[in-house]
Amino acid sequence: MFKGLHPIQYGGREVWPLIEGAKGIAASDHMSAGAWAAAGGIGTISAVNADSYDEQGQIIPQIYHARTRPERHKELINYAISGAVDQIERAYDIASGRGAININILWEMGGSQTILREVLERTKGLVTGITCGAGMPYKLSEIAAQYQVSYLPIVSSARAFNALWKRAYSKAPEFLAAVVYEDPWLAGGHNGLSNAEDPKQPQAPYARVKALRDTMRVCGISDSVPIVMAGGVWHLEEWNDWIDNPELGSIAFQFGTRPLLTKESPIPQAWKDRLMELEEGDVLLHRFSPTGFYSSAVRNPFLKALESRSERQIAFSGEAAGDHQSLLDVGVNGRNNLWVTEGDLIRAHEWVKQGFICTLKTPDNTLVFVTPEEMQAIRKDQAACMGCLSQCNFSSWSETGKGMTGRIPDPRSFCIQKTLQDIAHSDNVENNLMFAGHSAYRFKKDPFYSNNFVPSVKELIDRILTGK
């Protein structure tokens, strides 16, 4: 029998311990977050280049006019600030004093601290808390304390939280409202897998969350501070033994994928339709993201093309050495100083016959074979970089120092800003990155969604509270 949930105190009011997971660019906006809060939960606006609106209420396209990356980076920051402020104000109005409104940022997004400070300055009294991951956000607690809001760091291990606590969070413990455990093998979007963890060997979340609670106790953090389980949460009855469990302390639950398929969800209809078609295994944990982090997304043609591109890859040497005794004579535009293995030379000739006649160097001393059209598109996207990340593997942008990472651009990756803007504002779901959690296949199997039923956010939360 499902135990049922109890409301918790957050932001000075009772709310359900149900958090809407933020979903990148324009996939979690004021409509979904406001409705989630109005239903008594904690709605979350993605403050990652959120949409802003003109006087007629139409979305303002984020078009970049500057000629240089540093100038385009300034444009991006201005878009991000105005968009987040617009979304927060609208969500707050929808919530009408119920629930709570959080904002989410990626610490490794370009200009994250500038954007966060300016957004909080312009929305005083409207934001209850900040969730933040994708990196080690040491400054998060300091910024939260400055603006008197809660912070909810997103971590994937007890070790990561311990490092954050010792370096920074212990100085502002009163604003720590919860710790979000985002399971790196189950959650959608960017995941916090460490180099010591095997992406192909998932670990059960219970032991990892218990280890996190044990670490929090050593740090002197009360059991009343919830750990938020994020990733793989669908029916709460499946997590019955987590509720009121003295080993784990207070537990809340985050839903990132299920809110995508609601009436208030802002994603295009084609995206919603695609979610209803997914089978188990259709979501891939991969490392193509220009952030350098692992991430999980639907294995559509966009992702399959990246997989294929990486498979058309060979190592090279600037001189004949070891097994590299064959001179590469295709795909190098007359250059004759690249040496490869005999087997790789045979593979290269086969790829050229298939039309992959161009090569691009990677930061790892390998070559990838691409078509002329692919090469042109890659170079165009790299040149158009606007610095949406603090450091970008795809374009070699860095917002620090000289504006470059010092590594050559990686053609095995992609422009994440371009593809996420496109999928959020068009029906082109097959040729763009489609983030999703690994439980997304359950839309097709769950009787709640039978006959193509799409619930309102309120109907979804009411259903979740039954354990289903």
Task: Report the pLDDT value the prediction gives residue 334, as an integer from 0 to 100.
Answer: 63
Task: Report the pLDDT value the prediction gives residue 355, as an integer from 0 to 100.
Answer: 96
The alpha carbon dihedral of 344, 346, 350, 355 has a sign of positive
Task: Report the pLDDT value the prediction gives residue 403, as an integer from 0 to 100.
Answer: 73
Count, residues in the chain: 468
Task: Report the pLDDT value the prediction gives residue 354, as an integer from 0 to 100.
Answer: 97
The residue written with tokens 């009436």 in the block is 263
The topology under which CATH files domain 8-273+442-465 is TIM Barrel (3.20.20)
Task: Report the pLDDT value the prediction gives residue 468, as an integer from 0 to 100.
Answer: 92
pLDDT in tens, the chain (468 residues): 888 999 999 999 999 999 999 887 888 899 999 999 999 999 999 998 899 999 898 999 999 999 899 999 999 999 999 999 999 999 999 999 999 999 999 998 999 999 999 999 999 999 999 999 887 889 999 999 999 999 999 999 999 999 999 999 999 999 999 999 999 999 998 888 888 899 999 999 999 999 999 999 999 999 999 999 999 999 999 999 999 999 999 999 999 999 999 999 999 999 999 999 999 999 999 999 999 999 999 999 999 999 999 999 999 998 999 999 999 998 887 666 899 999 999 999 999 999 999 999 999 999 999 999 999 999 999 999 999 999 999 999 998 867 788 899 999 999 999 999 999 999 999 999 999 999 999 999 999 999 999 999 999 999 999 999
Q: Is 298 exposed, middle or buried (0-12, 13-18, 19+ CB in 10 A)?
A: buried
Task: Report the pLDDT value the prediction gives residue 336, as an integer from 0 to 100.
Answer: 67
The alpha carbon torsion through 189, 192, 196, 200 (nearest 10 deg) reads -20
The domain limits of the chain are 8-273+442-465, 294-425
| Cα 314 from Cα 364, distance rounded (Å) | 10
| Cα 99 from Cα 91, distance rounded (Å) | 11
Task: Report the pLDDT value the prediction gives residue 333, as an integer from 0 to 100.
Answer: 73
